[in-house]
Amino acid sequence: MTEEDAVPGKVPLVLLTGPSGAGRSTAIKALEDAGFETIDNLPLGLLPRLLSGQPLMRPMALSLDVRNRDFSPVAIIEALRLVDELPNVAPELLYLDCRAEVLRRRYNETRRNHPLDRQEDPKTGIKRELSLLQDIRERATVLVDTSELTPHELRHAVQSRFGPQDGQAIGITVQSFSYKRGTPQGADIVFDCRFLHNPHWKKELRSMDGGDTPVGEYVATDPGFHPFVSSFMDMLDRTLPGYVREGRNHLQIAFGCTGGKHRSVFMTEAISESLANRGWRVSIRHRELNRYAVLGARAQIAEDGE
């Protein structure tokens, strides 16, 4: 689902990989539910035969991992070269990333052995696999960090990125985050909301979040709030049609503040509401609050009220 997807005749082909324990099983099922023909744990040696027959008639997703005896960075790079040369295919490399300490915790919780190290402690296998995949990670066209995602959130992220958009030419995700935990990976547009009034310093607002009306009303009293929203929406009004013309099918916008609880949450809600009122379908994620939502496109109201 790259820029080439807008070209008639191009069929999406997703190569899915990443470290063991990062959520490939969840992602491949999400792609299947999104309408993709899926093959899990495909031996790379069979890929040329698979793609040398009839042209693809529907989107396809192939899950590739270290359980295969012929798996290697060189084999993955050769697979990418092969699919890039296919005339009717729009290829993507979807890489599910995850921090080593999170992978180790997941293995300890499930009591499973790592495929690269059958010892009780999976630490060695995880380290080897992440090193093995480093070059592949750098070639990814879509990277999703699953360290802080539940299976439900990962499923939502994959389907938002690769699923049908109900006729909308581009999918938009707006999310809030805390700078203490770093900027979201894969974000296209990132803005810092720390210039706004901070509700944290209001005792009566501290326990609330940006979705609560008193917090929003307080943030909106900042003299910089309305000019910023107006100028930001003006920028999106000018740039979104350009993204559509260039074949982009997804745009991720992120707003950050200190704790990811007040200002960034309210800004995410405000911008998402404005986008929905302009006819865009928007997915919302509040990373630190661990919440997801979807706003459907609203019919735009003409000047006469119709």
What is the three-class DSSP state of 264?
helix
Q: 204 pLDDT band (50/70/90 cuts)?
A: very high
Task: Report, as an integer, the average pLDDT of 88-94.
Answer: 87
pLDDT at 6: 39
CA angle 288, 293, 296 (to 5 degrees): 150
Q: Which residues contact 291 (CB under 8 A, 6 or more apart)?
A: 284, 285
Q: Give rounded-to-5 percent helix, strand, coil for the chain.
A: 40, 20, 40
Closest among 62, 3, 18, 6 to 36, alpha carbons compared: 62
Cβ atoms of 18 and 96 within 8 Å: the answer is yes
Q: 301 pLDDT band (50/70/90 cuts)?
A: very low
pLDDT at 3: 39
Percent above pLDDT 90 for the chain: 34
Q: 243 pLDDT band (50/70/90 cuts)?
A: confident
pLDDT at 302: 41
- Cα–Cα distance, 160 to 173 (Å, whole number): 8
Q: Which residues contact 267 (CB under 8 A, 6 or more apart)?
A: 176, 191, 193, 196, 210, 219, 229, 255
pLDDT at 8: 46
CA 267 centroid distance within chain? 20
Considering 148-152, 168-172, 246-250, 271-275, the range whose residues carry the highest mean pLDDT is 271-275
Residue 19: is its pLDDT beyond 70? Answer: yes
Q: What are 157-196's pLDDT values in tens digits? A: 887 788 765 555 677 899 999 999 999 877 899 999 999 9
- Cα–Cα distance, 79 to 58 (Å, whole number): 19
Task: Report, as an integer, the average pLDDT of 17-30.
Answer: 90
Phi, psi of 132 (to 5 degrees): -60, -35
Q: What are 271-289's pLDDT values in tens digits? A: 999 999 988 888 888 989 9
Q: Name the residue with tokens 């491949």.
A: 28
Structural domains of the chain ordered from first start: 3-162 (3.40.50.300), 171-295 (no CATH)
- Cα–Cα distance, 63 to 42 (Å, whole number): 6
Q: 5 pLDDT band (50/70/90 cuts)?
A: very low
Task: Report, as an integer, the average pLDDT of 92-111.
Answer: 85
Residue 202: is its pLDDT beyond 90? Answer: yes
Percent above pLDDT 70 for the chain: 86
Considering 85-94, 134-143, 187-196, the range whose residues carry the highest mean pLDDT is 187-196
Q: Which residues contact 136 (CB under 8 A, 6 or more apart)?
A: 17, 73, 76, 77, 93, 95
pLDDT at 104: 87
pLDDT at 115: 64
Closest among 106, 75, 93 to 13, alpha carbons compared: 93
